Structure 1
Amino acid sequence: MLNKKTVDDLKVTGKRVLVRCDFNVPLKDGVITDENRITAALPTIKKLIDEGARVILCSHMGKPKGEVKPELSLAPVAKRLSELLGKEVVFAKDDNVVGENAKAA
């Protein structure tokens, strides 16, 4: 048995927790066609929220050759997450990894 820590081992009350998620979901015309990756992340996200953490989720769909493509936006994922969690998920739209919108959020 490995001695790796899991989310169950963390004390997150009052802390900001950065969670790297694989939200690279298939989209067709801006609509999610398979939300399995989103629903797979829900137990971890909910646990952290329930334990009093301020959860920051990060993911990406891609930026081919450094070019921003609107069809690869995670905005539909943020919208669906809001619905599934029953609370607002603030989407920080930035062209940089951590831009001004993310900092403000």
Structure 2
Amino acid sequence: MVKKNKLTWFLVIFISTISHGVLDAMTTGGRGVGFLIPFNNDRFFFPFREILVSPIGIKNFFSSWGLKVLFSEFKYIFLPCLFILVVRFLVFKLKINLRKT
């Protein structure tokens, strides 16, 4: 049980770390993501750059630009994740129902 728990935490942190860079490479601002640092100092963006970059500071975040950023993140991050979770849940339920019959 302890090994499974450690593996779960490792996967959560690993996926969070990887997804942070991937999502940053899809934003509209910044200098790009240094995926290969320290071996190569080049910075990269993905061709898909629709996620709006968040404004710096609390005051700027609670503005019309901040609302646009939240909507952008909702559309390109939250909804796809929700879709994946729902599909995973339905597949899991389907497997359980198939085992019972």
Using structure 2 for the length normalisation, give the TM-score. 0.30
Q: In proportion to residue count, which structure has more helix?
A: 2
Higher Cα radius of gyration: 2
